[in-house]
Structure 1
């Protein structure tokens, strides 16, 4: 049965999220009794159909990595919509003890590693659905213990971010209009970030690239050939097409950036950005991927200003540990690094101030400073960091 077919009212449904037709075939031989399998292309479509049609969903099976959008991010979104009173299962390609522990303590009932053993899956799912009323009271979320943000810190965040948004509203309006006038597409986009307690949220920015940046680069590559060594050899700009090796196993991107109905791959975006910074080949005079206003807002960090809205709605604080992309946070589930996620996510923090003017800082040093902040953060210490941030902004090195 497809997501567009009508299911009789009251029919118990097992929702399959993110599976293609070949993968769904593996479930056909399973005996789920009177329950009907209904596939959904993504979690948001499932949630909308659930609410709009008052579906009787009794279980959810999602094909996704734990830190990807249809993993912890989906269960977080369902919690906000109060749609989580059913067992939620994940089917993943990559699994270790720390990731499993993170999943189970975040509300996911069980994790299956591909390839699926349908007999085991059938028995496990039937058992949990049949006994869910008794079992759900014993399932507790045990994310890392988060230190409360505190009244004064939250009050300061609201005051500072509110005043900044008010004073900068003319800048927002001008940038918004310039982006819209220069290129078609939304002025804002969001990516998914992992903050306090591994909670996933939408991280807002101004758009600085054309929405069809990859296609523009491909179309213009014949104009962008440069000598890259003394022998005068020429090379073509590498245009990445298709999915990366990790996403290819799922048949779809696991690290998307969103803006209305437009989607980019965040991993490709960051790889391109790093390549552009490190390779002379990509230092072309007019990079077709970046708009003119995009260059300006990147160089002045104005593209980061929409994060003030994240502060207002409580996703972030002015001072804290920087929220991480899903694929980075996925690597930091060991006891050594999990502490950083007990602190508030912030726009600026300890490692940004420490790095200024001191040359390169290793990833290990940065993560250790994140842990230090998590252990010692307070409103008083935050004020000290803000005072240090202001003169640091005038130093030569960019962070």
Structure 2
């Protein structure tokens, strides 16, 4: 999924670029509002800022601030042309590319291909860098033997369901039956995570068309959240200034910061009720976790175990590279795990920190007996239709 955040007010350029780009296209009037939106996007390597050139001095300040705050986001300047001295200033600020307001579709496709190659390279770089931090985890022989035996038996027993699901998906909509996404597993190793496809193949385009249905409507309905305050403009009383939170990029009253933080937790980037991108078959297989069954092939291949810590998307794994969480990746990646069955289906009510600590606990204590207990509780919770 590609995300384009257009900063500017040029309606002609906005109308044109929104038609030739694939993915989610959002327009905002200033860098502060763009920052709020980007904070809600997880796939930063798939995100590109399209910054409309206005005043080089102000532009470079805004772009430099965005680049420091979101170093993984690709910044493209929308301009008719640059002078030599302007080119250097924008480059130093963090601009990586330029496009004219009426860029043709081929130019956009070229940039898209580059972003995809860039994402793949960055992911490989992330994996290599962090694997050096670890004493490589090796799956015990007993666990690997159990995984192969369990996965093979399950695939044989569930083959009618797997075949029927594949046929139903293919009959309802064109496209590949299996969806692949890259996840980070044991030892920070990245692999292709398999699921049955539950969305239409043109889901990105549908999302773009359905942006108006987003119940949070990010485009220009975002309140002025981060005030544009400079250090030399602080003229409030000592009590007022004592309540300010100061970072490298912004200054904001603490009460406003806490309000924004609460809103960001409640409001995901895209939340559409009765999302029409999901197929009818997709809703059914998601409800009963049938879409997860292809991961049995991941188990046979050795990417995952039956029981372990769920493999994470890159954006989540990047947040867990400190010494406090590194043990989480010194364990098997699994179809089900300790936090999924903890509190008998109440895992969805757990905080992120509780889940992380349960993952670390499993990494440090896993055994054959613990795996059997987790499997039994997984089946019990599933029969009782609890949300695990």
Aligned partner (choices 145, 153, 170) of residue 163 of structure 1? 153
User: How many Å separate the matches in 1 of 2:321 and 2:144?
Assistant: 27
1:200 aligns with 2:190: yes
Provide the secondary structure at the position in 1 that maps to 2:195.
strand
Matched position secondary structure for 2:150: helix
The equivalent residue for 2:326 is 338
For residues 372 and 326 of structure 1, the distance between their equivalents in structure 2, rounded to whole angstroms, comes to 22
- For 2:346 and 2:210, the matched residues in 1 are separated by 39
- 1:139-288 matches, within 5 Å, as 141=132, 143-219=133-209, 238=217, 275-276=270-271, 282-284=272-274, 287-288=275-276
For 2:183 and 2:300, the matched residues in 1 are separated by 16
Correspondence 1:366 to 2:355? yes
**How far 1:397 moved relative to its partner?**
3.5
Contact 1:43 1:70 in 2 (8 A): no
Task: Report deviation, 1:214.
Answer: 3.5
Alignment partner of 2:306 out of 296, 318, 321: 318
Deviations 1:163-219 (A, max 9, x none): 111111121111111111111111111111001011111101111011112323554
For structure 1, which runs of at least 5 residues remain unmatched after alignment? 1-17, 27-40, 46-63, 77-101, 107-140, 225-234, 241-270, 277-281
Q: SS in structure 1 opposite 2:158?
A: helix
Per the alignment, do residues 221 and 358 of structure 1 end up closer, same or farther by CA in structure 2, a change over 3 Å counting?
closer
Q: Which structure is higher in helix share?
A: 2
State the TM-score, normalizing by the size of structure 2. Answer: 0.54
SS class of match (2:324): helix
> In 2, Cα distance between the equivalents of 1:272 and 1:207?
25
Q: What is the CA–CA distance in structure 2 between the aligned matches of 1:330 and 1:346, rounded to whole Å?
A: 19
- Cα RMSD of the aligned pairs, angstroms, is 3.7
Deviations 1:125-153 (A, max 9, x none): xxxxxxxxxxxxxxxx4x42244321111
- Contact 2:381 / 2:387 at 8 angstroms: preserved in 1? no
Q: Compared with structure 1, are the counterparts of its residues 288 and 357 closer, same or farther at alpha carbon in structure 2 (3 Å cutoff)?
A: closer
Displacement of 1:42 after TM fit? 6.1
TM-score, normalised relative to structure 1: 0.53
Q: For residues 345-394 of structure 1, what are the alpha-carbon distances to aligned partners after superposition, in whole Å with 9 as ceiling and x for unaligned?
A: 00111111114244611110110011111111122321222122222223
Per-residue CA deviations over 1:252-289 (Å, capped at 9, x if unaligned) read xxxxxxxxxxxxxxxxxxx998753xxxxx324xx321
1:305-356 residue CA offsets vs partner (Å, 9 max, x unmatched) = 1110100000000000010000000010011101000001001111111142
Distance 2:145 2:303 in 1: 14
Matched positions, count = 241
Secondary structure of 2:152's match? helix
User: Would the aligned equivalents of 1:321 and 1:344 in 2 still touch at CA under 8 Å?
Assistant: yes
Give 3-state SS (helix, strand or coil) of 2:174's partner.
coil
Among candidates 277, 288, 295, match of residue 283 of structure 2: 295
Whole-angstrom distance in 1 between the partners of 2:126 and 2:340: 32
In structure 2, the residue matched to 1:387 is: 376
Question: Whole-Å Cα distance in 2 between the matches of residues 237 and 273 of structure 1?
Answer: 8
Answering whether residue 120 of structure 2 is matched by residue 69 of structure 1, we say yes
Distance in 1 between the 2:382 and 2:180 partners?
A: 25
**Is the contact made by 2:346 and 2:387 (CA closer than 8 Å) also made in structure 1?**
no
Q: Is the 8 A contact 2:198 2:283 kept in 1?
A: yes
Q: Is the 8 Å Cα contact of residues 309 and 332 (structure 2) preserved in structure 1?
A: yes
